[in-house]
Amino acid sequence: MLTIKQITENTEAVLRGLEKKHFKNAKETIDQVIALNNKRRSTQNELDKNLAEVNSLSRTIGQLMKEGKKEEAETARARVAELKEGNKELDAAMTQAATDMQNVLYTIPNIPYDEVPEGVGAEDNVVEKMGGMETELPKDALPHWELAKKYDLIDFDLGVKITGAGFPVYKGKGAQLQRALINFFLDEARKSGYTEIMPPTVVNAASGYGTGQLPDKEGQMYHCEVDDLYLIPTAEVPVTNIYRDVILEEKQLPIMNCAYTQCFRREAGSYGKDVRGLNRLHEFSKVELVRIDKPEHSKQSHQEMLNHVEGLLQKLELPYRILRLCGGDMSFTAALCFDFEVYSEAQKRWLEVSSVSNFDTYQANRLKCRYRNAEKKTELCHTLNGSALALPRIVAALLENNQTPEGIRIPKALVPYCGFDMID
């Protein structure tokens, strides 16, 4: 979340940033935060003043008794009792103001960097780069859901039987391809210096608030109500929360973690041809990169993460493009985000496979993730993450773009992981 210092010292810049993100009622919300902060501070000042008076009176009571000034001592005791009773009300008011302010802060998105383009939605995103191999398919090319059925790779109907729509069952070489991609992505991350984490796939509410998935504004999280736990939408949540309430040493930064997990998203209201097959699922596999860094190095870290994801797509021989997201299409928590999309030749459309984001101090402030600098002062870290990669649409593009009359060709980089070079 935004810091009070950001809001109070750079109010106009914050409002401009919120306008770029198309956040409604920004002025009213920021005014509310400032008012609650003023109330919290004034109450704190009054409480501190009263506590100082209590301490002073308490010291004098004994002296008054020694001097035989019993009546004055009793008057002082009565004043102490009165102040203590008033302090309970002040403390409750201060706590309530702080809680109310925190709850309002949770509703305010991150401020986009200056280099984020203006825009309302996906049509306003800027294509930064295009790359990869052009694909020529047979005239009778099939979409991946038909290929999955033809080669018995993925059973969507069986997933509906077992669970429901959006939970496919991978079979045979389809399952092997999934596992091959997971291992390939993890090995590539390890080669780039990432330490692998195997985290839980359920988290508590504190973790959800820490990375910004809670409050759940879009109804994306699966909630286990009895235990008040949440299925993770991405490994970003448990991995980043490793550093919640932690003070790191500057020499530890940047921290580089990666994790493979299953991910769960309700994707409420997702229907139609654009979500057919693997295009949008409720459960899917993903390898995530997470970095914790100091502010002056985070942009370099972001670029290194972008280079890593681009390298994966090049090795998979897929046509891709990199988009710089506009303010209106960025996530609630991101300050700067780039999306990677691969081209589905059979569907004639681009499929998002990765988002690589810099959150500046937004998540770190929620997490209280800090580091101790060379002057021994504590500062908020910057957090970053990115998919490297999400599997469903990668699998869709691999199946569709590599189909031949003889079968589906496996990219060279994956053959050692699959154990086969053709699905036939």
Percent of the chain with pLDDT over 90: 83
Residue spans per domain, the chain? 4-105, 122-423
Query: How would CATH label the architecture of 4-105?
Result: Orthogonal Bundle (1.10)
Please enumerate, by residue number, every residue annotated as part of a binding site for ATP: 265-267, 352-355
**Range 99-119 average pLDDT:** 97
- pLDDT tens for each residue of 135-177: 788 888 999 999 999 999 999 999 999 999 999 999 999 999 9
**Does the fold of domain 122-423 match that of domain 4-105?**
no
Q: What is the band of 387 on the pLDDT scale with cuts at 50, 70, 90?
A: very high
Predicted confidence (pLDDT) at residue 345 exceeds the cutoff of 90: no
Give the pLDDT band of residue 10 (cuts 50, 70, 90): very high
Beta strands 370-372 and 247-249 are parallel
Among the listed residues 19, 394, 322, 401, the one whose alpha carbon sits nearest the alpha carbon of residue 177: 394
Return the CATH architecture of domain 122-423. 2-Layer Sandwich (3.30)
Q: Can you tell me the mean pLDDT for 324-349?
A: 95
pLDDT tens-place string over residues 390-407 = 999 999 999 999 999 999
Nearest partner of 405 among 152, 133, 141, 135, judged by Cα: 141
3-state secondary structure of 22: coil
* Average pLDDT over the chain, rounded to an integer: 94
The answer to whether residue 54 scores a pLDDT higher than 90 is no
Taking only the tens place, the pLDDT of each residue in 87-101 is 898 999 999 999 999
Position 222, amino acid: Y
Q: Tell me the one-letter amino acid at 61.
A: I
pLDDT given at position 267: 75
Evaluate if residue 330 carries a pLDDT over 90: yes
| Dihedral pair phi/psi, residue 337, rounded to 5° | -145, 140
Helix residue spans in 214-279 (DSSP H): 236-240
Does this model's pTM top 0.75?
yes
Binding residues for L-serine: 234, 265, 288, 385
Binding residues: 234, 265-267, 288, 352-355, 385
Closest C-alpha to 292, from 191, 389, 210, 369? 369
What pLDDT score does 274 carry?
A: 65
pLDDT digits (tens, 9 = 90+) for 310-327: 999 999 999 999 999 999
- Of all helices (H) and strands (E), which one includes residue 410? none
Supply the DSSP string of 96-124, one letter for each residue: HHHHHHHHHHTTSPPPPPTTSPP-SSGGG
